[in-house]
Structure 1
Amino acid sequence: MPYLTEPVLPAGSLGRPQPVIPTGDGLLLRPWREPDAPAVYAAFQDPVLRRWHVRAAGSEDEVHGWIEEWNAAWAEERGAQWAVVDAVEDTLLGRVALREIRLDEGVAEVAYWTTAQARGRGVAARATTALSGWALKDVGLHRLELLHSVANEASCRVAGKSGFALEGTKRSSGLHADGWHDMHLHARVQGD
């Protein structure tokens, strides 16, 4: 059965090397590299980060596999993950990502985390703002969604500072290690 609408973006819209995206204020979003694995493993030992994520890093070898997967997802246009680093020292400060990219619908989900040392410095909001601008303006996605546990007040502040409007609450939709969480749904669309 034919669709009544054309795809928002055709397959191949990301068919180029993953870009480095500057925030304009001292951070870079850059593709992940194999040497990043020890820093990612160390970041996932932080109990605050683990509280809000469903994945744990059991070893640096496991994280090497994640990095391979993240890079493969870009090549397959189904996800895009960036290391958030200090623009001068290349020190890992966090991660920002487009998950569940659906080019035909022009939609993706934004996700992020920061290292313990980077918290309180606006790293997540600055990186999310830069990524969102690139995704909406340069790539041409129509809508970006951002989900977080309603109990994660810091993530809610990041969403607001990054221009994501709170659209509502998805009841009991996120399974965390401590059980089911209600999730806030935020979004940005072209023109926001």
Structure 2
Amino acid sequence: MEPVEINAGRYYLRQLRADDRIDDRPSILDAFTDPVSRRWISHRILDLAAAGDYVALRARQWADDERCSWAVADQNTGELLGEVGLKDLDLRAGTAAAACWTAPRHRNRGVVSEGLAAAMRFGAGALGLNRVDYLFQDGNEPSRRVAEKCGFGFHRTIDECGAKVHVWTRSLV
């Protein structure tokens, strides 16, 4: 499918970019090398080339109907503030999993909770999703707050490679 831009109120959602007009790679690198982010995000990006590969990966995932991923951007400047996405898309079953991260200097401003809420409205309306799961590790309080703000409810706890992972679920119907 083709990437879609979404007006999310204070922010707008757009495709991640690395071109002559908008270059998200420095912000991606900053976020993925931040010690707090590294604790919770398993994907490693250590240089601008890897950040460019990440942007290209997200574009391929859109094209292959695997994942819808958006840069949560400032309405005025287009600056990347974070990323939200619907991954593990199963359009037949109507399910997906939520994913998100916030750039370090934009935390605690509602960036991903507002962006994720808009992404889930798109998932329900345009993709026909009926359920979205949100998984996060034990101790990741910012992710728990996002889950609560976005209407997810606790479902269960699983063990993933020795780490306790909480699974929260939200019905979209």
In the superposition, the TM-score normalised over structure 2's length comes to 0.93
Q: C-alpha displacement at 1:96, in angstroms?
A: 0.4
Q: C-alpha displacement at 1:104, in angstroms?
A: 1.5
Q: C-alpha displacement at 1:23, in angstroms?
A: 1.1
- Partner residue, 1:132: 120
Secondary structure of the residue aligned to 1:139 is coil
Percent sequence identity over aligned pairs: 31
Q: Which of residues 149, 152, 165 in structure 2 aligns to 1:183?
A: 165
Q: Which has the larger radius of gyration?
A: 1
Q: C-alpha displacement at 1:137, in angstroms?
A: 2.1
Q: How does 1:7-156 map to 2 (within 5 A)?
A: 15=1, 17-24=2-9, 26-34=10-18, 35-156=23-144
Tell me the distance in 1 between the aligned counterparts of 2:104 and 2:140: 15
Tell me the distance in 2 between the aligned counterparts of 1:44 and 1:124: 16
Secondary structure of the residue aligned to 1:44 is helix
Kept in 2: contact 1:82–1:96 (CA 8 A) = yes
Tell me the distance in 1 between the aligned counterparts of 2:52 and 2:163: 30
Secondary structure of the residue aligned to 1:121 is coil
Q: C-alpha displacement at 1:147, in angstroms?
A: 0.1
- Partner residue, 1:9: none
Tell me the distance in 2 between the aligned counterparts of 1:66 and 1:45: 14
Q: C-alpha displacement at 1:92, in angstroms?
A: 1.1
Tell me the distance in 1 between the aligned counterparts of 2:109 and 2:96: 26
Tell me the distance in 2 between the aligned counterparts of 1:39 and 1:125: 19
Kept in 2: contact 1:136–1:189 (CA 8 A) = no
What amino acid is the match of 2:60? Answer: A
Secondary structure of the residue aligned to 2:29 is helix
In the superposition, the TM-score normalised over structure 1's length comes to 0.84
Secondary structure of the residue aligned to 2:44 is coil
Kept in 1: contact 2:157–2:167 (CA 8 A) = yes
Tell me the distance in 2 between the aligned counterparts of 1:87 and 1:166: 32
- The reply to whether residue 168 of structure 1 matches residue 130 of structure 2 is no
Q: C-alpha displacement at 1:88, in angstroms?
A: 1.0
Aligned length: 169
Q: C-alpha displacement at 1:134, in angstroms?
A: 1.1
Tell me the distance in 2 between the aligned counterparts of 1:66 and 1:88: 24
Unaligned runs of 5+ in 2: none
Unaligned runs of 5+ in 1: 1-14
Tell me the distance in 2 between the aligned counterparts of 1:130 and 1:163: 12
